[in-house]
Structure 1
Amino acid sequence: MSEEMENAGAQTGAELFVKALENEGVRYIFAVPGEENLDLLEALRESSIELVVNRHEQAAGFMAATYGRLTGRVGVCLSTLGPGATNLVTAAAYAQLGAMPMMMISGQKPIKSSKQGLFQILDVVDLMRPLTKYTRQITNANTIPAKLREAFRLAAEERPGAVHLELPEDIAAELSAPDTHIFSPGDARRPTASIKSLEMAADMIREAKHPLIMIGAGANRKRVSQALIHLVNSTDIPFFTTQMGKGVVDERHSRYLGCAALSAGDFLHCAIDHADLVINVGHDVVEKPPFFMEPGGKQVIHVNFSGADVDPVYFPQHEVVGDIANSIEWLANHCGHCTDHDFAEFLRVKEALEAHLEDSCEDSRFPVIPQRIVRDVRRIMPDDGIIALDNGMYKLWFARNYKAYDNNTVLLDNALASMGAGLPSAMMAAMLYPHLNVMAICGDGGFMMNSQELETAVRLKLNLVILIINDNAYGMIKWKQAQEGFPSFGLDYGNPDFVTYAQAYGATGHHIPEAAELQPTLKKAMKEGGVHLVNVPVDYSENDRVFNRELSELTRDLKANC
């Protein structure tokens, strides 16, 4: 048989790779390509997958991870070897700690023969090992479908995270065997918790005097909202959230007590301290602990997809392990309303917190204080509007003061808590949901870490408002520096003229000269469409007044009157 006949029907490794990606339902690949990716690029040119060219690999990774967070499907990003791959490291950690399904593809020099020595060559597979659930170099084109299917399976299954495949240049060009099989995605179901564990949990809930529900990051990933609403409505048990659990249940609900945005000392912690049982739904230890357990203290029921990671401050007395939605629905159907429950203290805490959240919201001082910024954003955002927060002092203010009305309408990262993620995350939301209002909320420091993606946003014709909260400093660290009693040093810098900077990329820039201009400017930008950047100077003196002094006094008085 001739070589031509033997190769009839064969595909290159790159073509096979792209067909396997299409088979997985991949819609986008976010990329900064290099010469080692050229065969893959050519295969993508003829495919149904949309290639989104970013201006930095980190941003490509953040967008892919956010795609995974919002859809539950695996987001995909692409880089070349060496520096391209190392630029994905932060995004890998972001997806892995944040439980976002994401696959990274990196190129590599030919592995069978190379005449370039060690130029740009790093052991990227080893580099990715501690940051991913799965990382492999592909050494034979015939193995591409199996490795890719396994990577997608591991990325998406609980607990979701990052995976990585390295596709060397010569393997991408290599012909696969004509009969190489592409594997269909699986439809494995998550296991259900045992009836015995559910019955024990129901007994603990009925026997408690002051039970409290906590909603964590794991509850924000699957179809848990309706089940939790059913549980809260059928039992009347109040609930609170972690930062990454915001919005799973509409926070306008009469039983919502607040978000554990601070580590301690807030009104909400008075309620947590009063509870004798916490039903911990979707707790993820990557977040800062929303409460601390002590031997002989309150009981905790751990409801999650997997067993508890026990540490000195978290050691639940009972675990309900299995699909969260099924577990919560069962409890909602079997616990019922218990007349022995006493929620009076919880509701007193809620009343005090709600009153405090109204404080200073209409304050007109300039630069604008955080409470006014949060209130103005909440007023102009529709119920289904999405805000994507970068990392900085304002994240605490928004987590605590901004009520989320639906799941994944507040995108924030309280796991890796990386600066630079806010803009790419918002861009991904704007791509997926062009009919919704989307706003990136960034500090000046975090925005400048990936500000080059303004060009990408303009090129993609996104409808996106970017709010820059500007203090010309790394504001959160300045706050911590002052808390520790250190003199101010090393955290101030200068910024570009953000209005001109936005215009240079083809976006529209706005500067807020007084507090009264913020709300109408944001509303106008959202109505006009396109990419708008709004620069608002912020007064962070409220950090010390509220978080360091006022809360401790008010909560002390609240506890004294218990």
Structure 2
Amino acid sequence: MATKKRGSQALIQSMINQGIKYVFGIPGAKVDQLFEDLQYSDDPNVPKLIVTRHEQNAAFIAAGIGRLTGKPGVVATTSGPGVSNLTTALMTATAEGDPVIALGGEVPRDDLSRLTHQSIPSKELMSFAAKSSVEVQDANNLSEAFMNAYTAAVSPKAGAAFISLPADVLSDDVSRPVIKSLAESQASQASPQTLAQIVTLLKKAKLPVILAGMRASSQEVTAALHRLLAKVSLPVVETYQGAGIISREYEQDFFGRVGLFRNQIGDTLLKQSDLVITLGYDPVEYEARNWHVEHNDTIINLDSVAPELSNDYQPDVTITADIAATLTALTDELPADYQLSEEAVSRLKTLKQDFEAEKVSETVSETGKVHPLTIINELQKRVDDDTTVTVDVGSHYIWMARHFRSYRPRHLLFSNGMQTLGVSLPWAIAAKLVRPNEKVVSVSGDGGFLFSGQELETAVRLNLNIVQLIWNDGYYDMVKFQEEAKYGRNAGVKFGPVDYVKYAESFGATGLRVSDPAKLGDILDQAFATDGPVIVDIPVDYRDNIKLKSALLKDILN
């Protein structure tokens, strides 16, 4: 006879069986049994409970764990607004392929159909934000529900899974055994006939290029791509979420990143190419209507999920299989003497020179302010390949995506699907928990920072060494400069000043301000040498933002 457990205990044991290390969230009456059992469990393997200052940020942190590790982070909240506050974070995770499991408290089962305190249709609400949304009506189903949520969260395309937990289900007895650890799914690869077709297309192509997207950023796929590049040098363009796929060893094959505006060297290369191999590419990162305007090249779509077809994206070859296994098989299949033509090498050399010149094209800044490229270059000097840099949304995110180099996947993080404000600091907290011995930098604008700035208290409480840069200009600037490009003026983008040094100190963190642009490097050195979270307030000169929209390709004005 199995030993009886409470529903919450069975749920926790299921987390232990799947190696969950943390649960992030905010308590409440409908989920307090779970928090009690997490807090006071005698099992040394029980996930650590980390209380945050907002449910949305708790889910951002959990999604950050998912993006960094490939395994779901877990967030737990109470009913009503506790659940509804998860919506933005779960939608972001689902759009951007980050596995996360959300546990939402709910009123007792006999109150579900009543208009009572904190009663909302949680399961139905979250069905629009998550891949999977269920409500558990029997405590004996809790372990099954968690394991199915885990499978849904990690299965391609990864995303959020939500479980609604009526309060009385968590406290009910469970008589069934908890489900054991799940076995990993077996990798599949393309057929020999398909591999032969790819080789034939590569041989015929005058200028093939690889577009590496979000699902190419796992360690396995990155390693497989590096093996391919070791055999044959092929140009690679990254999406923003593919940042870091190309290591230093293969930097000669790196031709920048693409996203937002079609005016990068990578866009030029994609336009000139007659064969594009998309690896783990998702249209939410950069729609094909932006990079495949001419429809005059052949596309091979290699991904773990079936592509979303459109008038602008109709691959000639579609392979839905394990990306790493298929790349490895393709590498073995390629002839040892395969290489690009001299004409292709010459064209790539010219593009490479243009690309490298971009990172030094800096203008003089307004007195007392710092140019974006100066900030990027000074930060670049002070990080290594193991540093994790999380980037919020704003003008700074475009500058960082185009010019900041990263040489390891999932070490430079962007929200490029939903472009969600406030992700940077929560993701940095996740990064420091996952990579405690490595540097972690969070980069935000002064607008986006205050979307989640209250989590500075969480970082202080956990004593996390996070350097938080705030590019400060007093505007929602990413909107501002695009409005000015469209209408010749801006509207609704100005807000009041905040003393971020005092803000940091009020939380028990360290606050630093760059009053003299010439001292930026010294202040960054001080920030990295300081224990605990540090805010660095940097007055930024965004006068060159219009260059971010300037058309490199003559057929694109927007």
Do they fold alike, i.e. is TM over 0.5?
yes
Report the 3-state secondary structure (helix = DSSP H, G, I; strand = E; otherwise coil) of the residue aligned with 2:225. Answer: helix
Q: 2:389 aligns with which of 387, 392, 399?
A: 387
Partner of residue 171, structure 1: 169
Measure, in 1, the Cα distance between the counterparts of 2:324 and 2:177: 39
2:275–2:298 contact (8 Å) kept in structure 1: yes
* Amino acid in structure 1 at the alignment position of 2:37: A
C-alpha distance 134-262 of structure 1, shift in aligned 2 (>3 A): closer
What's the TM-score once normalised by structure 2's chain length?
A: 0.94
Deviation, structure 1 residue 134: 1.2
C-alpha distance 134-381 of structure 1, shift in aligned 2 (>3 A): same
1:468–1:535 contact (8 Å) kept in structure 2: yes
Partner of residue 48, structure 2: 50
Partner of residue 193, structure 2: 196
Measure, in 1, the Cα distance between the counterparts of 2:490 and 2:424: 27
Deviation, structure 1 residue 339: 4.7
Partner of residue 509, structure 1: 511
Partner of residue 20, structure 2: 26
Partner of residue 418, structure 2: 416
1:364–1:515 contact (8 Å) kept in structure 2: no
C-alpha distance 106-373 of structure 1, shift in aligned 2 (>3 A): same
Q: What do residues 355-400 of structure 1 show as CA deviations (whole Å, max 9, x unaligned)?
A: 1221118868531111111111111112211110001111111111
* Amino acid in structure 1 at the alignment position of 2:526: K
1:248 aligns with 2:255: no
1:86 aligns with 2:87: no
1:229 aligns with 2:226: yes
2:55–2:77 contact (8 Å) kept in structure 1: yes
C-alpha distance 172-340 of structure 1, shift in aligned 2 (>3 A): closer
1:210–1:277 contact (8 Å) kept in structure 2: yes
Partner of residue 466, structure 1: 468
Partner of residue 312, structure 2: 313
What RMSD in Å do the two structures reach over aligned CA positions? 2.0
1:234–1:337 contact (8 Å) kept in structure 2: no
Deviation, structure 1 residue 529: 2.5
Report the 3-state secondary structure (helix = DSSP H, G, I; strand = E; otherwise coil) of the residue aligned with 1:442. Answer: strand
Measure, in 2, the Cα distance between the counterparts of 1:339 and 1:66: 39
Measure, in 1, the Cα distance between the counterparts of 2:230 and 2:5: 56
Report the 3-state secondary structure (helix = DSSP H, G, I; strand = E; otherwise coil) of the residue aligned with 1:320. Answer: strand
Matches within 5 A, 1:269-284: 269-284=267-282
Q: Which segment drifts farther, 527-536 or 222-231?
A: 222-231
Deviation, structure 1 residue 115: 12
Q: 1:154 aligns with which of 149, 152, 155?
A: 152
* Amino acid in structure 1 at the alignment position of 2:207: H
Measure, in 1, the Cα distance between the counterparts of 2:542 and 2:97: 32
1:263–1:289 contact (8 Å) kept in structure 2: no
Partner of residue 220, structure 1: 217
Q: What do residues 454-488 of structure 1 show as CA deviations (whole Å, max 9, x unaligned)?
A: 10000001010000001111000001100112422
Q: What do residues 239-272 of structure 1 show as CA deviations (whole Å, max 9, x unaligned)?
A: 1111111101125611111111443122332222
* Amino acid in structure 2 at the alignment position of 1:155: A
Partner of residue 447, structure 1: 449
C-alpha distance 361-259 of structure 1, shift in aligned 2 (>3 A): farther
Partner of residue 300, structure 2: 301
Deviation, structure 1 residue 42: 1.8
Where do 5+ consecutive residues of structure 2 fail to align?
none
Partner of residue 338, structure 1: 338
Partner of residue 108, structure 1: 106
1:39–1:172 contact (8 Å) kept in structure 2: yes
Report the 3-state secondary structure (helix = DSSP H, G, I; strand = E; otherwise coil) of the residue aligned with 2:511. Answer: strand
Where do 5+ consecutive residues of structure 1 fail to align?
1-5, 558-562
Q: 1:64 aligns with which of 53, 62, 65?
A: 62
Partner of residue 496, structure 2: 494
Q: Which segment drifts farther, 43-52 or 180-189?
A: 180-189
* Amino acid in structure 2 at the alignment position of 1:205: L
Q: Which segment drifts farther, 239-248 or 114-123?
A: 114-123
2:369–2:517 contact (8 Å) kept in structure 1: yes
* Amino acid in structure 1 at the alignment position of 2:338: C
C-alpha distance 124-339 of structure 1, shift in aligned 2 (>3 A): closer
Q: What do residues 97-145 of structure 1 show as CA deviations (whole Å, max 9, x unaligned)?
A: 1111100001111113689842221101000112212111111111111
Deviation, structure 1 residue 188: 1.8
Q: Which segment drifts farther, 338-347 or 352-361?
A: 338-347
2:112–2:119 contact (8 Å) kept in structure 1: no
Measure, in 2, the Cα distance between the counterparts of 1:340 and 1:385: 34
Q: 1:12 aligns with which of 3, 6, 19?
A: 6
C-alpha distance 443-308 of structure 1, shift in aligned 2 (>3 A): same
Report the 3-state secondary structure (helix = DSSP H, G, I; strand = E; otherwise coil) of the residue aligned with 2:163. Answer: strand
C-alpha distance 77-548 of structure 1, shift in aligned 2 (>3 A): closer
C-alpha distance 294-472 of structure 1, shift in aligned 2 (>3 A): closer
Measure, in 1, the Cα distance between the counterparts of 2:66 and 2:397: 22
Partner of residue 526, structure 1: 528
C-alpha distance 62-327 of structure 1, shift in aligned 2 (>3 A): same
Q: Which segment drifts farther, 435-444 or 110-119?
A: 110-119
Q: 1:145 aligns with which of 139, 143, 153?
A: 143
Measure, in 1, the Cα distance between the counterparts of 2:364 and 2:98: 37
2:140–2:174 contact (8 Å) kept in structure 1: yes
Q: Which segment drifts farther, 218-227 or 166-175?
A: 218-227
1:361–1:372 contact (8 Å) kept in structure 2: no
Report the 3-state secondary structure (helix = DSSP H, G, I; strand = E; otherwise coil) of the residue aligned with 1:112. Answer: helix
C-alpha distance 414-114 of structure 1, shift in aligned 2 (>3 A): closer
Measure, in 1, the Cα distance between the counterparts of 2:337 and 2:209: 14
C-alpha distance 169-201 of structure 1, shift in aligned 2 (>3 A): same
1:109–1:169 contact (8 Å) kept in structure 2: yes
Deviation, structure 1 residue 214: 1.2
Partner of residue 367, structure 1: 369
* Amino acid in structure 2 at the alignment position of 1:18: I
2:262–2:291 contact (8 Å) kept in structure 1: no
Deviation, structure 1 residue 522: 1.2
Measure, in 2, the Cα distance between the counterparts of 1:202 and 1:18: 49
Measure, in 2, the Cα distance between the counterparts of 1:262 and 1:321: 27
Report the 3-state secondary structure (helix = DSSP H, G, I; strand = E; otherwise coil) of the residue aligned with 1:377. Answer: helix
Q: What do residues 509-531 of structure 1 show as CA deviations (whole Å, max 9, x unaligned)?
A: 00101222212211221122211
Measure, in 2, the Cα distance between the counterparts of 1:19 and 1:529: 35
Q: 2:432 aligns with which of 409, 430, 441?
A: 430
Report the 3-state secondary structure (helix = DSSP H, G, I; strand = E; otherwise coil) of the residue aligned with 1:439. Answer: strand
Q: 1:540 aligns with which of 539, 542, 555?
A: 542
**Paired-residue identity, %:** 29
Deviation, structure 1 residue 348: 0.5
Q: What do residues 203-256 of structure 1 show as CA deviations (whole Å, max 9, x unaligned)?
A: 111111111111111101351112111212312111111111110112561111
